[in-house]
Structures are given as structure tokens and as C-alpha cells.
Structure 1
Amino acid sequence: MISSMTGYGSASRQVSLGAGVVADLQVECRAVNSRFLDLGFRLPDECRAAEPALREITTQSLSRGKVEFRAAWRINQSNHSSATGAFHSDSHALGAISKERLDALYTLQERAQDIFPKARELSIGEILRWPGIVAEPRGEEEGWLAATVEAGRAALDALMKSRQAEGKALVTVLTNITSKMNQVIANIEPKVPEYVAQYQEKLTERLSESLAAQELGKGIGSELMERIRQEVVLYAVRIDVAEEFARLKTHLNTVQTALTGKGPVGKRLDFLMQELNREANTLSSKSVSEECTQAALELKLLIEQMREQVQNLE
């Protein structure tokens, strides 16, 4: 299925920190447009060991897009409340205060105040934030690694589903634009012979007027011959638009085939946009009528709209 390059997914897992304490880990996976696959990671220290595994599963699943993994965790409050009784008896539980570290800090403060009598005492907040005062269990590295990889894989799956849904919507948009372009071609192509005939009539009139302006018996001068040659060459170039219409229709058929296929199509469609734009420019330069010029401009506008959407496809 065709996918876009933008999407979002998230998943959560729980990590045991010991002493009945559980952390809720949340992993998010975001993707935006990029010419190639560009991976980024914003992980806390506890989750950094999972980066190689996340990188591997992402490269196996995606080929384009700027993809970023973010992770954050917090203590599960329900487990916190249920384990409150254990905090007072277990020196490693979250929220347990280290009596030894507290005594050492108190002694340190007294010594500092002996030297600096005017120094203020530490506040409760400053004491609790002092390293080692409050126990903060971090759990085992293996637990963090497994939880981060599992949550990251689930977030990536959600991201891919999001990209596929957006890709489906983009295919509908591109198909509609393709239909409009085919309609423009169908409207203007049958009229081209009439425009060419009108242009030929004007050219004939101009040549007749030029010839009539010459005096009888003096023949056609070199200057007039050069003008006739230039007009004929220009006329020959302008009437040959059948090839441009044929190539436009061929490219549009190729676009439609790509949109109904599977797998990455972004780069291929981007190339086809260049080819379509080239043919539209040529059609505009060979225009023999105002209506033909307007049709070429409308095609270029639709191609540009399609190009903007194609940039979102993988």
C-alpha cells in the first residue's frame, strides 16, 4: 500500500523499578517529509541502550522520511500509593529518606555556618533535592531496554498505519488531479487542427500582402525571401504538437499505474512531474491560439498541485 511520509504513533509500557515501584514509559514516533531516511532519537538515559534496536527495526520498515523517537517516563501513582507502607521499611524504595545522608548533610551545613555565620540554612526543598537524600530506584537496564524496544516497535506500527491512511487520502487527491489534466487535454486536443488552420490562413494572408507589395517584374527580393523562410520554419514548429499531447497522456497513464500499485512511489512520481511539466512548457511555447495557451497554463498549475502532494509520498 502507498504511504505518506508524515505520521505519528505512540505506545506505553511499564518498567519495574524494584521495591514495588513501577514507571510508566511513553514512546512517541513522529515522521515528516525527507528525501532520504533520517532517524533521530531523544531518549532519557535509562532508554539509550535501545537506540540501536529501534534504528534497526525502523530501517527495515521505512525507506524515506525524517523519523524521530521520543521517550519519557514517570512514576505510576497508583503503584506509588499502594506501596507507601514499604517505603518506610525499605531503604531502596522511592520516597525513602537516607538517614545517613541526611545526618551528613546536617553536619556539613553546621560546619559551613561556622565559617559563614550569615549564610542561611537549607530549605526543605533544597534538602530533598540533595543527591542521595531521597532514594530513587532506577530498575535494571534489561528491563528498560526491553520496555523501550517493545514500546518503540508498537509506536512505529502505529506510525505506519497513520502513514498508510494518509497515503490513501493522497492517492485520491492525485487521482482527481490526474483526471482533471486528462479532461483538459481531451478538451483542447481536438481543437488544435482548427487553430492550426486559422494560423495557416493568417500566414497566407501575410505572405500574399508582402508579395503584392513588390513591384511587378522585379521578382522577390532577398529580404522578402528571408521573411518567408522564417515564417515557414516557425509555422512548421508550431503545428507539431501531436507528440506533446501523446507524451502527456503517456505520462499521466504512468502516474495512474503507479498510484494503483504498491510500495514506495514518491521518487518515481517526482520524476514524472518533471516530465509532465516539460511537455506542458513545450505545448505553451508552440501555442497557436489563446485557448491553447490557457490550456497549457492550466496543465502547469495542476502539475504543480500534484508535485506538492507527491512530496508527501514515500
Structure 2
Amino acid sequence: MTRSMTAFSRQERQEAWGTLTWELRSVNHRYLEPHFRLPESLRDIEGSLRERLRKAVSRGKVEATLRFVPEQSKEHLQIDQDRLQEVVNATSQLEQTGLAMQKVNPLELLAWPGVMVQSSLDMAVIKQAAIGLFADALDDLLQGREREGAELQQLITQRLDAIGNTVTEVRSLLPGILQAQRDNLNLKLAEIQIELDPSRLEQEVVLLAQKADVDEELDRLETHVQEVRRVLTQKGPVGRRLDFLMQELNREANTLSSKSIVANTTRSAVELKVLIEQMREQIQNIE
């Protein structure tokens, strides 16, 4: 199923120990670029969260923010002695280097991340709850990407239909275009009262036909359209493949335009390029 790279998810869980809230935002990006913002007390679960995200999402810039509000009536602050000693040792090492330092403010030490902890909270339980809530938020994000992807697929399919109709129209015009060029050549010869050898006339017509021959380009346009339809039904990331096919479609439309000898086919080539560009803009959001 085609998935967009744009979506938003918000999941919240309230327990006796407090409230957890996950917000996930995803936008288009060439590669997967995750950004996590977690409270310091829950920072050590980031690795497992990144791995879960990497397995579920292939492309997109994903911002994941976790907010944790402890239940105030249950919160009792205490000092993590080991963490505090690490900070004190670090300041002592700086003094030994000879750097001039002001006297350390105890309140600044307490403000250092990890020094103050909530003694009454079972952080292991909260971490597991945060991981589980992240899984719910990620599932919701993927569903949003799939819903938008389905809409993008529909928009692209509509333009593929329009391209198919344009190709069919150009094919139907080609015999008339060649006959009109033959008649126009005969008319010009009649006006200047020059009688051209039939074989020479036929050679000129053949040259015109070769110049206006776009059957190969039309065939490739139809082939690429069929391939785009097939890729849209595949599972997994398809955005890069679709982007490549847009380049190929645009190449054939440009060739069609360069071979045009009448205004009708020129307009058709322009219409094709407009449709292809519209698809390309949509495909930039597909995973």
C-alpha cells in the first residue's frame, strides 16, 4: 500500500504515578531522519525506540516528543548520590588543570540532569509504559500515513488516466497529420507550378513521416504509465522508484514535443508535462 511521509499522532496515558504523552510528527525527507526529545529520567529507552521506528518507517523526518508529568502528591525528591559525586569529581578535575573557577553553587549542582530523582516512582514501570505508548503512537502514525497515501495514489491514478487519454488522442491524430503534410506539400508545389517527380515527392513525404514518427515515444509513455500503476500497488517504500519513473515520463514528453510538426501535438506534449509535474509533486510525499 502506498504510504505518505506526512502524518501526526498524539497518544496520552494517565496512571497513578503521572501522565505520559507522546507526539509524533512526520514530514517528507529523502532518508529516515528521527529526532527524539525525552525527559532525562527516561533517556535510556531512546535506543529501543529508535530501533522500533527504524523497522516501521523507511523514509521521512520524524520528530518524537515524550512528556512526563509525575503525580504531584506522589512526588518526593531525593539526591542521586552517585550522580552527584560524578559531577563533583568533574569540577575537581577542572580545578586541577589550573582553570580559574568560581565557587560551585550547590543549587547549580542540584539542577544538573540526573542529580535529583523522584524517590517514590518506579521508573522501570514508567519506562515500560512509555515504550508501550510509543508503540500505540507509532501505529497511529502509520495509519495516518496510509490514509494520506491512499489519497495520493488516487490523485496520481487520475493523472495517469489523463496521460493515457492524451496518448490515445495523439495516436489518432498521426494519420491525419501526415496526410495534411502531404496535401500541404502538393499545394505548395502547385502554387509555384513545379512538377516534382513522384518518387521524389514520396521521398519528401517519407522524410516528413520520419520526423513526425512518435510511435516509439507513445509506446514508452504507455509502458511507463503501466509501470507506475504496478508500483503503486506494491508493498513497502515505492517513492524513489516512482520518482525515477517520473523522470522517464518527462523524457518521453520532451521528445514528443521536439518532434512535433503541428500545434495539436505540441499542446498535447505540454499537457503531458503538466500532468507529469503534478504527479512528481505528489510523489515527493510518498515513502
TM range (shorter): 0.7 to 0.9
Alignment partners' CA distance in 2, 1:58 and 1:176: 32
Alignment partners' CA distance in 2, 1:163 and 1:234: 52
1:210 Cα deviation from its structure 2 partner: 7.7
Residue 34 of structure 1 corresponds to 29
Residue 63 of structure 1 corresponds to 58
Residue 23 of structure 1 corresponds to 18
List aligned pairs for 1:46-85, cutoff 5 A.
46-76=41-71, 80=73
Residue 40 of structure 2 corresponds to 45
Unpaired runs of 5+ residues, structure 2, are 78-108, 196-200
TM-score, normalized by length of structure 2? 0.76
Note if 1:258 corresponds to 2:231. Answer: yes
CA contact (8 A) 2:250 2:276 kept: yes
1:236 Cα deviation from its structure 2 partner: 5.0
State the superposition RMSD in angstroms. Answer: 3.2
Note if 1:11 corresponds to 2:6. Answer: no
Residue 257 of structure 2 corresponds to 284
1:59 Cα deviation from its structure 2 partner: 1.0
Alignment partners' CA distance in 2, 1:263 and 1:131: 48
Residue 125 of structure 1 corresponds to none
1:204 Cα deviation from its structure 2 partner: 4.9
Letter of the aligned partner of 1:251 in structure 2? H
Residue 192 of structure 1 corresponds to 174
Letter of the aligned partner of 1:238 in structure 2? K
CA contact (8 A) 2:31 2:60 kept: yes
CA contact (8 A) 2:10 2:137 kept: yes
CA contact (8 A) 1:247 1:279 kept: yes
Identity across matched positions, percent: 41
Alignment partners' CA distance in 1, 2:267 and 2:60: 37
Number of residue-to-residue matches in the alignment: 250
1:235 Cα deviation from its structure 2 partner: 2.6
1:297 Cα deviation from its structure 2 partner: 0.5
List aligned pairs for 1:242-253, cutoff 5 A.
242-253=215-226
Task: Please give the secondary structure, in 1, of the residue aligned with 2:167.
Answer: helix
Alignment partners' CA distance in 2, 1:198 and 1:41: 66
Alignment partners' CA distance in 2, 1:63 and 1:131: 41
1:171-219, Cα deviation, whole Å (9 max, x unpaired): 1111111111111122221111111222233345556778949xxxxxx
CA contact (8 A) 1:280 1:299 kept: yes
Note if 1:148 corresponds to 2:130. Answer: yes
CA contact (8 A) 2:149 2:286 kept: yes
Task: Please give the secondary structure, in 2, of the residue aligned with 1:255.
Answer: helix
Task: Please give the secondary structure, in 2, of the residue aligned with 1:247.
Answer: helix
Alignment partners' CA distance in 2, 1:169 and 1:27: 26
1:238 Cα deviation from its structure 2 partner: 2.0
Unpaired runs of 5+ residues, structure 1, are 16-20, 84-91, 95-129, 214-227
Alignment partners' CA distance in 2, 1:200 and 1:46: 83
Residue 93 of structure 2 corresponds to none
Bigger CA radius of gyration: 1
Alignment partners' CA distance in 2, 1:131 and 1:256: 61
Alignment partners' CA distance in 2, 1:203 and 1:286: 18
CA contact (8 A) 1:199 1:288 kept: no
1:38 Cα deviation from its structure 2 partner: 1.1
CA contact (8 A) 1:175 1:256 kept: yes
CA contact (8 A) 1:23 1:74 kept: yes
Alignment partners' CA distance in 2, 1:203 and 1:39: 65
TM-score, normalized by length of structure 1? 0.70
Task: Please give the secondary structure, in 1, of the residue aligned with 2:231.
Answer: helix
1:109-151, Cα deviation, whole Å (9 max, x unpaired): xxxxxxxxxxxxxxxxxxxxx969xx97263442342222112
